[in-house]
Amino acid sequence: MDGTELYRKVILTVSGNIFVKWLSIKYGKKLASRFIAGDTLDEALDEIERLNAKGILVTLDHLGEGIRSLDEAAGYREEYLRLVEGIANRGVQSNISLKPTQMGMALDADTAYQNIKSVVRKAQEHGNFVRLDMEDSPYTQATIDMTLRLHKEGFTNVGTVMQAYLFRTEADVQDLMGAGVNLRLVKGAYKEAGTIAYQKKEDVIDNYKRIIKLHFDQGAYTAVASHDDRIIDWVKVFAEQARIDKQGFEFQMLYGLRMNDQAALAKDGYRIRCYMPYGTMWYPYFTRRLAEKPANLMMVLKNMFK
Ligand SMILES: Cc1cc2nc3c(=O)[nH]c(=O)nc-3n(C[C@H](O)[C@H](O)[C@H](O)COP(=O)(O)OP(=O)(O)OC[C@H]3O[C@@H](n4cnc5c(N)ncnc54)[C@H](O)[C@@H]3O)c2cc1C
């Protein structure tokens, strides 16, 4: 295991510690704000307008995961319905990302399905698209099944995410492409066992390139979500050689990371979409960002001592 892999594992483990969690929630809000567009929908919509003005598209996410009751899930469903309306009323260029566990997937699969379906239906009424984020491996199959079931019921405005670190992903990409599902391709953000996932970053990158190529080769609309120049530069060259128009696929990056580079990609004629979270349940999202890169932790620590 090299230093980066060790760092990622330590942060993901330490962040689960109850004392670290308490400390972070008490003192960390301001530090996390760099990665989060605000507490409220209105603040997020204002921020979308600012990014759209720079040519950056958005996917809007209301923070929340690992909920404990179906009432909580219903509350999030209502917030998402408001979010879909809010995007339509403001006329901003943003689609929607949501986490299946936030809608109750870990508690009751059918309720989660109904909750998600009502959001997807509302989005369809407004000509918008919903992305089911991919969470950790206990939910991989359930998320895929839900996406396919929605497609079969005529909701083709829903897609999901494929994680390059999982061994199963290449086969899943084949199946989902076959069903015409729009996919976001990522490396994967959770701690997964060596029995099901690549542990070395070179292996993840190799598999990532493999699934991106597979996706492009089938003529599917490809969304590559990464901050890694090894991937971004490779995709640019691949697309150019395959004569794929810069508007025929999209890059995606997270809010608060490489914002100048996001604007530069837009200026260069590429489609670039920024994943923008808002809301008050920021802790798990924030710790995954810290785990991804020591520089993210350094940036936060520097701000802390300013
Ligand atoms: C839009 C979006 C949506 C996502 N959705 C999901 C999801 O649904 N499920 C999921 O599991 N994961 C998701 N992820 C997270 C993803 O799986 C990775 O954990 C995350 O993107 C980190 O991998 P990376 O390829 O960006 O680069 P990393 O592996 O973090 O970094 C690799 C290299 O990229 C460069 N780099 C990285 N960050 C920066 C920076 N800020 N500035 C300059 N250079 C940098 C550095 O050279 C670094 O060494 C999403 C990511 C994005 C961008």
Active site residue 184: yes
**Chain segment 189-205, per-residue pLDDT in tens:** 999 999 999 999 999 99
**Chain segment 98-150, per-residue pLDDT in tens:** 999 999 999 999 999 999 999 999 999 999 999 999 999 999 999 999 999 99
The yes-or-no verdict on residue 299 having pLDDT over 90 is: no
CA 9, CA 288: separation in Å to the nearest integer? 10
**Chain segment 64-108, per-residue pLDDT in tens:** 877 889 999 999 999 999 999 999 999 999 999 999 999 999 999
CA 78, CA 119: separation in Å to the nearest integer? 9
Q: Ligand 1 pocket: which residues have CB below 6 Å? A: 133-134, 161, 163, 186-190, 225-229, 231, 252-254, 257-258, 275, 292-293
CA 262, CA 209: separation in Å to the nearest integer? 21
Going from the C-alpha of 275 to that of each of 59, 142, 167, 201, the distances in angstroms are 5, 23, 25, 23
94 membership: H or E segment, kind and range: strand 94-98
Atom of ligand 1 nearest to the CA of 252: 1
Structural domains of the chain, ranges and CATH numbers in brackets: 1-36+289-305 (no CATH), 38-278 (3.20.20.220)
Q: How confident is the model at residue 280 (pLDDT cuts 50, 70, 90)?
A: confident
Do residues 232 and 205 touch, judged by C-beta distance below 8 A? no
